[in-house]
Amino acid sequence: MRETPETRWIEVSGCENAKLLTESLGTGQPFIWAHSLLGSMAQDLEGEVLAWRELTDVARVIRYDARGHGCSEVFGKPEDFRWDKLANTLWQVADTYTEDKVIVGGASMGCATSLYAACQRPEQVKAMVLVIPPTAWELRAKMKRNYSFIAKFVNVTRGLPFRLLKLIPAAGGDAGFQRRVMSVMARHLAKANYKGVVGAMRGAALSDLPPLEELKKLTMPVLILAWPDDPTHPLSIAEKLHDTLPNSQLEVIESADDPYAWPQLVRGFITSLPRARNSATASRDRAKKR
């Protein structure tokens, strides 16, 4: 019988405040996970992204629906959805659950969120797990234009194209990983609040990964997971991150439809990290020394 996650609603600040749905499950080192653009906690579980329920014996997995995504509120100015601002949100979630150093990680937009979070508080990040990094730097301009167009189109049509996604048949159990994940996303987007989609797309259009000079300063262990032949998540960006981050490990699978080795790679990475004393123990030790 599986353990039930602890769920909380957390109000986060920004140009406008918003309430986010969060959950925590498992024991061990705190691992804050940020999902992809237009993703959610529910999508990650249904699409079997990293098989979360299989990691909770080695980490306390803390997840959340980002502003405008999943069950969380859609309120916010375009700046609130920028990836550096989503990193502020990540820290507000983390601070609610733990005072310990954390592992941060995420896929695509969540990867960017994690990198900005590490730049903001490097001393509080024990390690990072970066999955399918998005377009960045010299490759980013075209994607920004695409996101701006989608935001305008969805706003004008009040999300009608997404509501029509419910007409697409669900992918069968024998479908490849990417097809299954896209099928899950389509069904969830068919029920999404279009204002959240517009906000997320506007934020993505204003965003990029942190400058390389900032990333060179991040010395914590980093696991980068990538796949080939995906223009939205180019392998070249994962390789550049690997070349830039001083203490990184890059794992590339042969096909975007075969990421099933990833949960074991993440498990091995987490268990290889030194176990830190929790904050309560550290506080007691400091008190004894006084």
What are the sequence ranges of the domains in the chain? 6-289
Residue 257 pLDDT: 67
Q: How far apart are CA 147 and CA 155, in angstroms?
A: 12
Percent of the chain scoring above 90 in pLDDT: 72
| Site of tokens 């749905």 | 21
Residue 186 pLDDT: 80
* CB-side neighbour CA atoms (13 Å) of 5: 18
**Angle CA 227–170–259, to nearest 5:** 20
Give the torsion sign (CA, 280, 285, 288, 290).
negative
Residue 281 pLDDT: 41
Q: If you ran DSSP here, which 8-state letter would residue 122 be given?
A: G
Q: Which two tokens stand for residue 42?
A: 């529910």
Q: How far apart are CA 206 and CA 144, in angstroms?
A: 7
219 within 8 A of 226, measured Cβ to Cβ: no
Residue 202 pLDDT: 97
Residue 178 pLDDT: 72
Enclosing H/E stretch for 140: helix 140-157
Q: Which two tokens stand for residue 69?
A: 């995504």
Instruction: State how far the alpha carbon of 96 is from the alpha carbons of 7, 30, 93, 283, in Å.
Output: 12, 12, 5, 18
Q: How far apart are CA 268 and CA 288, in angstroms?
A: 35
Whether 173 has a pLDDT exceeding 90, the answer reads no
Helix (H, G, I), strand (E, B) or coil at 235: helix
Q: Which CATH fold would you assign to the domain 6-289?
A: Rossmann fold (3.40.50)
Average pLDDT value over all residues in the chain: 89
What average pLDDT does this structure show over 219-235?
95
Query: Any bridge partners for residue 222, and if so which?
Result: 128, 248
Q: If you ran DSSP here, which 8-state letter would residue 109 be given?
A: H
Please report, in angstroms and rounded to a whole number, the separation of the first and last CA atoms in the chain.
46
Phi, psi of 201, rounded to the nearest 5 degrees: -70, -40
Helix (H, G, I), strand (E, B) or coil at 27: coil
* CB-side neighbour CA atoms (13 Å) of 254: 0
Q: How far apart are CA 20 and CA 35, in angstroms?
A: 13
Give the count of beta carbons closer than 10 Å to the beta carbon of residue 55: 20
Render pLDDT for 71-130 as a digit per residue (tens, 0 to 9).
Answer: 999 999 999 999 999 999 999 999 999 999 999 999 999 999 999 999 999 999 999 999
Residue 118 pLDDT: 98
What average pLDDT does this structure show over 25-34?
95
Q: How far apart are CA 276 and CA 214, in angstroms?
A: 26
